[in-house]
Amino acid sequence: MSQHSRKKLTSGKKVTLGVSALAASGLAVGLLVTPSATAGGTDAAEALEQSQAAAADASAAKDAAPKARTLAASAADATVVSGVTVDGGNSARVGTTNTQTITVKWTVSGGSKLYGSNASIWRGTDQDSGLKQFFNSEQFEADTDPCVQSGDARFSCTATFKIDPQSYLKNEDAGAWKIDLSAVTEATTDVDTDNAKTWYLKRWSRLSNNAAPEPVAKGKTITITGKLERANWDTHKYAGYTQQTVRLQERSLTGSYATTSSHITGTGSLAGVEKQTRTATTDRCYRYKFEGTSTTPPVTATGDCVDVR
Q: List, for the chain, all residue ranges whose pLDDT scores fall below the cut of 70.
A: 1-42, 62-63, 66-76
**pLDDT value at residue 67:** 63
User: Minimal CA–CA distance to 32: which of 10, 64, 63, 61?
Assistant: 61
Q: Which pLDDT score, from 0 to 100, does residue 46 have?
A: 83
pTM of the model: 0.80
- Give the pLDDT confidence score for residue 163 in this predicted structure: 96
The predicted structure's pLDDT at residue 151: 92
Report the pLDDT value the prediction gives residue 8, as an integer from 0 to 100.
33
Torsion of CA 233, 239, 240, 243, to 10 degrees: -30
- CB crowding 52-74: b at 16 or more within 10 Å, else e: bebbbbbbebbeebeeebeebbe
| Cβ(296)–Cβ(203) below 8 Å | yes
> Which are the contacts of 210, defined by CB distance < 8 A and separation ≥ 6?
224, 225, 226, 304
Structure confidence at residue 139 (pLDDT): 95
**Confidence (pLDDT) at 9:** 36
**pLDDT at position 276:** 98
Q: What is the pLDDT at residue 62? A: 67
The predicted structure's pLDDT at residue 57: 73
